[in-house]
Amino acid sequence: MKFIDWLKLNALPFSIVLAATIFGLFFLQSHQTVLSAQVVGVATQRQDSDLVKWRVTVSRNISINDYAQGYTLIERDKEALLELLLSKGLKADEISVDPVSVTEKQDRDGFMTGYLFSIPVLVSTINIDVLQKVALNPSAMVAKNIIPQYSSLEYYITGEKLQELKRTLIEKATSDAKKRAESIAKGSGKKVGALNSAKVGVFQITEPNSTEVSDYGIYSTNTKIKDVSITVNASYNLN
């Protein structure tokens, strides 16, 4: 019998055997379920801020007949505030001053009664204690006839200090995730295998002991001391 004739006679049985073998392997693999543990690791660290910003607006109420004098008085207030800040050891390049703004004042009937002259000032410095003493002691400003219309302190963690903190927290959160996976594995008689995936969440920078969280992250500037936290979602094989 020629080889071609033999091949024609045996092609169908051979293909059936091959198909059955492939199906058997697929069936075997589809029933070999890979167990995995989905865990969330958490890390939190308390951290002092290294930068403070003070937003303050000095203002003057000026009568309707003293408009021109308003500029002279508000300029005098600005210079007095700058002198106070510099005398406490703050630097000129840490202080920025916006232009004067003038708002008309009206009574309940809508008649103009005068003007409010205002100058916004921003101080940004690493000398937190020095600036706090000025901002939290309005009597020193009042003694110089400086009237703060608005005053707000904002605290930040900045630069490499913040980046190093983030790297440390990611490492700690990843370690915490693995420990959680090990607890799951121990309870099920398995061992933790390879890391399948890991996703870092958003950072939450909040006031100490705050329970506030956001899908987009939080950066609270209200307090000098902050709690910085991060989550890591990880998946581990269980062998």
- Please write the tens of the pLDDT for every residue from 24-46: 434 434 445 668 899 999 999 99
pLDDT at 222 over 70: yes
Where residue 139 falls among pLDDT bands split at 50, 70, 90? confident
Burial of 142 (0-12, 13-18, 19+ CB in 10 A): exposed
Structure tokens at 179: 């420990």
Question: Which pLDDT tens digit goes with each residue over 61-107?
Answer: 999 999 999 999 999 999 999 999 999 999 999 999 999 999 999 99
Q: Which of 46-50, 119-123, 184-188 has the lowest mean pLDDT?
A: 184-188
On the question of pLDDT at 233 being above 70, the answer is: yes
108 three-class SS: coil
What lies within 8 Å, CB to CB, of 61 at 6+ separation is 105, 114, 115, 116
Q: Which residues of 44-65 are buried (b: 16+ CB within 10 A; e: fewer)?
A: eeebebebbbbebbbbbebeee
Average pLDDT (195-224) is 95
User: What is the structure's pLDDT at 1?
Assistant: 54
Element (H or E) spanning 134, and its range?
A: helix 128-135
CA–CA distance, 58 with 60 (Å, rounded to integer): 7
Strands 218-219 and 204-206 turn out to be parallel
Give the span between the Cα atoms of 230 and 163, in whole angstroms: 13
Question: What pLDDT does 69 receive?
Answer: 95
The average confidence (pLDDT) of the chain is 88
- Provide the 8-state DSSP code for 97: E
Average pLDDT on 4-33 reads: 46
Question: Looking at residue 154, what is its pLDDT?
Answer: 98
pLDDT confidence of residue 224: 97
Question: What pLDDT was estimated at residue 5?
Answer: 55
Average of pLDDT values for 105-126? 95
First-to-final CA distance of the chain: 54
Q: Which tokens is 44 given?
A: 């939190």
| Phi, psi values for residue 45, rounded to 5° | -140, 140
Decide if 115 contacts 69 (C-beta within 8 A).
Answer: no
How far apart, in whole angstroms, are the C-alpha atoms of residue 136 and residue 128? 12
- Which pLDDT score, from 0 to 100, does residue 3 have? 47
Please give the pLDDT value at position 24: 42
Asked if pLDDT for residue 7 goes beyond 90, the answer is no
Confidence (pLDDT) at 138? 86
Which pLDDT score is estimated for 35? 85
Q: pLDDT, tens digit, for every residue of 157-200?
A: 999 999 999 999 999 999 999 999 999 998 888 899 999 999 99
- Evaluate if residue 121 carries a pLDDT over 60: yes
Residue 115 in tokens:
């003007």
